[in-house]
């Protein structure tokens, strides 16, 4: 089969559609996550999903040992565990008043430690070989089905609508939480909605990118967008574009070379876009700044002394 036939095969188009939608949703959501200075939140939510996936598999194996794994149930378990991790992080930050980095480290290490223990129990069980939890850790985009694409389309559409509706409120909360509270905005509710959206994107992206790499798709595209614009609107859409192109690149590469890890290729593609933006960005690119300093130095040399 030629490369052209592979790229336009039905399964490949389904995978490309799913990864592209994931890149859009992750890029938009990650913009506010980065402005909120919670870049590690996606990492925490992703790692927190592991115990939920393992528990869901064990429960399903106990109820129906001959039925094999249930992907929807495992995703539901991962989503519940991620939500618990998010709530634990918010509680520790707001009630225990611990530093942000300490909160992220505590929740990430605790939940992932529980997940590793449960993973050893899963592997020791009679049906452990059917779990496929490795696919959730590192991603397996080739397993995306049309039902997964429909779910990703729903989450992406919801992300666009919610972000469009709350862009002013979230922007104010990200830049000046105190002022947002003084003006009467429900900061905790807005914060909860943002983190809930991050959870939804992380859970939806587990199968494609994996819970260890989903944070890269949340953070790298928004970081790339910052080198091109300082305005929130262009940043959101540039992040979505960079996320979509990076995810699509990973899907194409994995289709042409089946042994490649899709999640890893998606992250590498996003990193290449960030490197390009860092060098050639029209707002904060290194070459632009170097040229500006050179012009200022030349102007100062040509200025006659008073």
Give the domain CATH number at 137. Answer: 1.10.3470.10
pLDDT at 204 over 90: no
Q: What is the pTM of this model?
A: 0.82
Pull the structure tokens for residue 91.
């509680």
Residue 240 confidence (pLDDT) above 90: yes
Is 243 within 8 Å of 26 (Cβ atoms)?
yes
Task: Return the DSSP state at 305.
Answer: P
Confidence of residue 242 (pLDDT cuts 50, 70, 90): very high
DSSP 8-state assignment for residue 120: H
DSSP label at 140?
-
* pLDDT in the model for residue 263: 76
**Residue 241 pLDDT class (50, 70, 90 cuts):** very high
Q: What H or E segment, with its residue span, contains residue 165?
A: helix 146-175
Which is nearest to 243 in space by CA: 232, 251, 253? 251
Is position 111 within any domain?
A: yes
User: Which tens digits make up the pLDDT trace of 243-288?
Assistant: 999 888 887 887 777 777 777 888 888 899 899 999 988 887 788 8
Task: Round to whole Å and give the CA distance between 161 and 81.
Answer: 26
Task: Give the C-alpha separation, 128 to 134, whole Å.
Answer: 11
User: Does residue 259 sit within a domain?
Assistant: no
At 134 the pLDDT is 65
Domain that holds residue 111: 3-211
What percentage of the chain has pLDDT greater than the value 90?
8
Per-residue pLDDT tens digits for 124-172: 776 655 556 666 666 666 677 888 788 888 889 999 999 889 888 888 8
Would residue 82 count as lying in a domain? Answer: yes
User: Would residue 125 count as lying in a domain?
Assistant: yes
The answer to whether position 253 is within a domain reads no
* 296 within domain boundaries: no
- Residue 4's pLDDT band (boundaries 50, 70, 90)? low
Domain contains 78:
yes
Q: Residue 295 has what pLDDT? A: 77
Q: In this predicted structure, what is the pLDDT of residue 52?
A: 86
Written as six digits, the tokens of 31 are: 């913009």
First to last CA, the chain: 75
Is position 54 within any domain? yes
Domain count, the chain: 1
């Amino acid at each position: 089969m030629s490369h052209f036939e592979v790229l336009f095969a039905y399964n490949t188009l389904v995978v490309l559609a799913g990864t592209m939608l994931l890149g859009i949703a992750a890029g938009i959501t990650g913009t506010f996550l980065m402005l909120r200075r919670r870049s590690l939140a996606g990492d925490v939510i992703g790692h927190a999903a592991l115990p939920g996936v393992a528990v869901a598999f064990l429960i399903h194996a106990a109820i129906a040992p001959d039925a094999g794994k249930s992907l929807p149930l495992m995703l539901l378990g991962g989503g519940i565990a991620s939500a618990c991790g998010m709530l634990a992080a918010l509680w520790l930050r707001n009630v225990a008043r611990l530093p942000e980095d300490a909160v992220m480290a505590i929740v990430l290490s605790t939940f992932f430690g529980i997940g590793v223990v449960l993973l050893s129990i899963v592997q020791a069980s009679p049906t452990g070989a059917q779990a496929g939890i490795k696919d959730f850790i590192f991603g397996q985009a080739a397993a995306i089905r049309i039902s997964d694409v429909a779910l990703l389309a729903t989450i992406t559409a919801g992300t666009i609508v919610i972000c469009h509706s709350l862009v002013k409120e979230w922007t104010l909360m990200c830049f000046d939480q105190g002022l947002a509270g003084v003006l009467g905005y429900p900061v905790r509710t807005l914060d909860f909605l943002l983190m809930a959206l991050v959870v939804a994107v992380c859970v939806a992206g587990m199968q494609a990118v994996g819970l260890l790499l989903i944070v890269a798709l949340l953070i790298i595209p928004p970081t790339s967008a910052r080198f091109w614009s300082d305005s929130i609107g262009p940043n959101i859409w540039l992040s979505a574009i960079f996320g979509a192109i990076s995810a699509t690149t990973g899907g194409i590469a994995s289709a042409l070379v089946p042994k490649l890890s899709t999640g890893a290729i998606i992250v590498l593609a996003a990193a290449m876009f960030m490197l390009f933006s860092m060098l050639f960005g029209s707002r904060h690119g290194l070459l632009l700044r170097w040229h500006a300093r050179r012009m200022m130095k030349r102007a100062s040399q040509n200025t006659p002394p008073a």
